Amino acid sequence: MARMHARKRGKSGSKRPISKAPPSWVKLTPDEVEALVVKYAKEGYPPSMIGIILRDQHGVPLVKQITGKSITQILKENNLLPEIPEDLANLLERARRMHVHLSKNRGDRYNRHRLQLVEAKIHRLVKYYKRKGVLPPDWRPRLIYTYR
């Protein structure tokens, strides 16, 4: 699949398991997996990191295969879901870091352009999450535009 703001292909990543059934070598029960998800969420880990920890340390290839629910669904049931979705929060943090860099390096035109692209992604995601009802209709990100 292509990148959003480039004419290149995407980076390779790990392949998800094909089968919908849980593998036979996973010894954890669905309740144990849910307890681990809740435990790591209470420790402050985001959903993507919880999935990586479960995969690497506990041998759980996909939480949804075992429990029938995704990590975010489990967090929502236990009222541990963050107010802002993780992908949007990561983009907001990236834009904030880029703005700090631009305040120190005013002549960095390349970074200014990249900040515009990140802000475009933020606006696209905000529109999607408002439409899906994840964010309230009057929610606005605090972005500082640097187009000069």
List, for residues 59-68, the tens digit of each pLDDT value: 999 999 999 9
Task: For residues 85 and 67, give the distance between their C-alpha atoms in angstroms, rounded to a whole number.
Answer: 22
Q: DSSP characters for 78-131? A: TT---SS-HHHHHHHHHHHHHHHHHHH-TT-HHHHHHHHHHHHHHHHHHHHHHH
pLDDT tens for each residue of 67-119: 999 999 999 999 999 999 999 999 999 999 999 999 999 999 999 999 999 99
Task: For residues 141 and 92, give the distance between their C-alpha atoms in angstroms, rounded to a whole number.
Answer: 8
The pTM score is: 0.83
pLDDT tens for each residue of 1-39: 567 787 777 777 777 778 888 888 889 999 999 999 999
pLDDT at 148 over 60: no
Nearest-10 Cα torsion for 53, 57, 62, 63: -70
Task: For residues 42 and 52, give the distance between their C-alpha atoms in angstroms, rounded to a whole number.
Answer: 16
User: What topology does CATH give the domain 86-132?
Assistant: Helix Hairpins (1.10.287)
Rounded to the nearest integer, the mean pLDDT of the chain is 90
The structural domains of the chain, with segments of one domain joined by +, span 30-77, 86-132
